[in-house]
Structure 1
């Protein structure tokens, strides 16, 4: 478990020990057979594994630091749309249910992830990152029904509910 004082907005404290230009030169030297992989790694102070990965690709790309994302942008947008649709149809989503949905979505799509397989939940860090990337989604832990909420249950809200129900029934051909 994380310590209480740990910040969820991690700021990288180190920089790479080599420059992108050195990486380009090393790849060029190995491809032109001026140096071997090991010699180029030593000369330019670049890890062999990094140099090997770059040699497999057609052109040298800047490397992303840190863990790779579980979902690509398209998948994350699809997940966000699903959550918003659930909220519009009065299906309450809590933070823990969103984390469970994300876990199941990753499993269903056979994506490589580091979510907790025992609890079948995405992590809290993933949740906070997802919410920050999708500010239109606002989830809250359900509370006891307040007087304001009871008075908000009026004809307009009931009609809105049944309109949404009718749309879903026609969409899925359920009557």
Structure 2
């Protein structure tokens, strides 16, 4: 079940890989009009940035899946990434609703991400696997947006254009 996290993530992120850079470029003028207080110029994502961020997140998800497989799903890290992945899917649906249209990841979120996350939690409960409730689980889940932000920040650093020397 734990390796399914990596498989579901790969399917979902293949959609993001194929659509994110172009969508952000095309949607930016409309988003700037409707949500002018967001610093959209800082959120430009080149295909190179998207590729790098997805590869970095793939490493995070692979480590979480491996840890989950090694611990029979008991790892707080695995459970936090599983929860974060499911919430990420819900976030895609919210984004699509707010923008009243397609956003990258909106197709696989309800077809792959959310069903896998729900199935994963059901499997953990059926196997009587203790879940990471309490401070350690909450801390691990709270780290998810920080990891996501960190991945994009590192991708920005790795892909930024450097002045000619």
What is the TM-score of this pair, normalised by structure 2?
0.24
* Bigger Rg over Cα: 1
* The structure with more helix, counted as a fraction of residues: 2
Higher relative contact order (Cα pairs below 8 Å, separated by 6+ residues): 2
